[in-house]
Amino acid sequence: MTAVLPPPDEVTRGAIVLVHGAWVGEWCWLPLLPDLAGRPVYTVSLTGHGARRHESGPHITLDDHVADVVGLIDTLDLTDVTLVGHSYGGRVITPAIPEVAHRLAAVVYLDAHAPVAPDPGQSPERDAAAAANGGMLAFGGYEHDVDLLGSDAARTWFTERLVEQSYATFTAPWQHPLPDHVTKTFVYATDSPNSRFTAYAEACRTHPEWRYHELAGPHFLMFSHPVEVAEIILSAAS
């Protein structure tokens, strides 16, 4: 049987592209995938994370992660894309959007940094921790969210896959205006203690150009609320 090239619309048009956050990898989307069946779905492995953890190091920048997203969308010739960023993934998809704007239909910020409120910046404590660790930042600040994942087995599986994050990815400018034609959605995890995303949520809640949702769960909503998150993504994609 001869392969059909270029690929048919059913594997390129209307694709959902999922971009994970800091310290985790493409594996964090696994609970969500069954509920996105029927759409072409692609999970990005950011450089130094997940299946690409062997590439980790302090040399990795935000530009590298933006290139990962743009490269996947362009290489696979995806169109009418719904681009989803979780947590730090919002800092990645925002500067990627201008480069692939003609391929996008919607963006979803899943408890993520979004270009609707000022970036709070990094704390002196984070600066010091990264400097003391050779430019790498260990997982931290979300321990209670991991505790809410459920069983001991779930928490162990999750923590075994965490990696250190290049601090350079946190310090680069990332905010850009979003194109008018792109549908914009924000999802806020209301049960995440000391959330870093409250300011973004408050800005989106009353913004006329944004769809806003709240879910009573921890920061890692794809584990606690996979069905609800999938429904929101599919709604944005439609």
- pLDDT tens-digit profile of 117-137? 988 888 888 899 999 999 999
Q: What are 165's two structure tokens?
A: 């994050």
In the chain, the domains with their CATH numbers are: 9-237 (3.40.50.1820)
**Dmax (CA) of the chain:** 60
Beta strands in 58-182 (DSSP E): 81-86, 104-110, 136-137, 165-166
Which pLDDT score, from 0 to 100, does residue 1 have? Answer: 58
Which entry of 45, 56, 87, 238 is annotated as an active-site residue? 87
Q: Which parts of the chain have pLDDT scores under 50?
A: none
Residue 144 pLDDT: 86
Backbone angles phi, psi at 70, to 5 degrees: -60, -40
- Of the chain, the end-to-end C-alpha distance in Å amounts to 33
Q: Which residues contact 126 (CB under 8 A, 6 or more apart)?
A: 137, 167, 170
> What does the pLDDT read at residue 199?
96
- At position 56, the amino acid (one-letter code) is S
Q: CB 30: neighbour CB atoms within 10 A?
A: 12
* Amino acid at the residue 185: T
Is 87 a residue of the active site? yes
What is the average pLDDT score of the chain?
A: 94
Structure confidence by residue, pLDDT tens digits, 64-77: 999 999 999 999 99
pTM for the complete prediction? 0.96
Query: Token pair of 62, please?
Result: 């935000």
